Amino acid sequence: MEFAGEVIEWRGPAPYHFVPVPDEECAVLRAAAAGAGYSWGLLPITARINSTEWKTSLWPRDGEYLLPLKDAVRKPLGLDVGDAVDIRLTFEAEPRQLKAPAKRAPRPRGSREPISPEQLRIVPANEAAWADLQAIFGTTGDTSRCWCQRFRMLPKETWVSEGPEELAARLHDQTAGETTTGLIAYLDTEPVGWCAVAPRADHARLLRDNRVPWLGRTEDKRDPTVWAVTCFVTRSGYRRRGIARALAQATVEFARAQGADAVEGYPDFVDGGSVGTLAMFTAAGYTEVSRPGTRRAVLRINF
């Protein structure tokens, strides 16, 4: 699909620059999205402007689709609000989403049998189906409202102001690219856990509002080579069985493979919850470097 469009700015989800897709093309895309069964109305595509090509997802808004232009794409092309661009879109439905889902092992109800790391298959999120990540986050509770965006939201943004649909769309975009932001754990074919690990500088609220990583330290907040483990989610029915601990161990090699110079975690002594526990990080080889207050610590591995 090829069309001409104009760069606009909309202060909704990050990024802020978009190109609206014309009405006629939107109608075709809506039919394609419905046929492929994509949740939240998102449509993963490959976009091309001149010789620059990248993978992203079209965002639905007011009956049309918007093509997001991240700064990493927009700035090298010299594009700004009001500029006209010629765009080529390619949509290829993921085979896993068109086929009938594979039969999964029955989910244990109330089981507390420990799960060893050897029983799990842990993969980068961009190697998993979006439906698997949705299954882990569920449809009720805090995880279905936050979608791992707590430390990434911008000033004045909240769960309520942004809404679960938009926050889910952000996580979809963050996990679908060549450089993904987390890991997914499988028990046999069942998706059972998620862990967020990404450059520390990518977390706007961590940089701005959270004193834990910075108190008593002289750290460059914008250093892209330091990564952070910020979130664990274990699927209902599999909790307290060692899945988060195995994910914490997997963050080390994952961050190293992405070129990180160091990786950090910020466990909570009172309620490990979504940020993890001290024991999880210690077992994974992290070393405590600071303790800002009575309930939080900074643990780190330098590569």
Q: What are the tens digits of pLDDT across the range 211-239?
A: 999 999 999 999 999 999 999 999 999 99
Q: What is the CA radius of gyration of the chain?
A: 20
- Give the pairing of strands 64-68 and 182-187: unpaired
Mean pLDDT of all residues in 175-194: 92
Q: Which two tokens stand for residue 91?
A: 């949509």
Does residue 206 contact residue 171 with C-beta atoms inside 8 Å? no
- Spatial separation of the C-alpha atoms in residues 268 and 295, rounded to whole Å: 6
Say what the pLDDT of residue 94 is.
56
pLDDT in tens, 264-280: 999 998 877 799 999 99
Does residue 251 contact residue 284 with C-beta atoms inside 8 Å? yes
**Residue 163, number of CB atoms within 10 A of its CB:** 12
Q: Which CATH number fits domain 2-98: 3.40.50.300, 2.40.10.10, 2.40.30.100, 2.40.50.140?
A: 2.40.30.100
Judged by average pLDDT, the poorest of 22-31, 91-100, 290-299 is: 91-100
Say what the pLDDT of residue 42 is.
66
Residue 204: how many CA atoms within 13 Å on its side-chain side? 9
| Strand (E) or helix (H) holding 13 | none
- Confidence band of 40 (pLDDT split at 50, 70, 90): very low
Judged by average pLDDT, the poorest of 67-71, 92-96, 198-202 is: 92-96
Q: Which residues of the chain are in CATH 2.40.30.100 domains?
A: 2-98
- Spatial separation of the C-alpha atoms in residues 59 and 44, rounded to whole Å: 9
Helices (H), the chain: 23-36, 71-74, 95-98, 130-137, 143-146, 159-176, 204-208, 243-257, 278-283
Look up residue 85 and give its DSSP letter: E
Identify the residue with better confidence: 111 or 141.
Answer: 141
Whether the model clears a pTM of 0.95, i.e. scores above it, the answer is no
Does residue 299 contact residue 262 with C-beta atoms inside 8 Å? no
- Spatial separation of the C-alpha atoms in residues 277 and 297, rounded to whole Å: 10
Q: Which residues of the chain are in CATH 3.40.630.30 domains?
A: 117-302
Give Cα 57 distance to the centre of its chain.
13
Report which listed range, 147-161, 189-203, 260-274, is most confident. Answer: 189-203
Mean pLDDT of all residues in 125-145: 92
- Spatial separation of the C-alpha atoms in residues 39 and 222, rounded to whole Å: 34
- Confidence band of 24 (pLDDT split at 50, 70, 90): confident
Q: What crossing angle do the helices spanning 159-176 and 130-137 adopt, rounded to 10°?
A: 140
Identify the residue with better confidence: 100 or 206.
Answer: 206
* Residues 117-302, CATH architecture: 3-Layer(aba) Sandwich (3.40)
Q: Which residues lie below 8 Å from residue 154, measured CB to CB, with a gap of 6+?
A: 14, 204, 205
CB burial string 143-159: b at 16+ within 10 A, e below: bebbbbbbbbbeeebee
Residue 220, classified by CB atoms within 10 Å of its CB into exposed (0-12), middle (13-18) or buried (19+), is: exposed
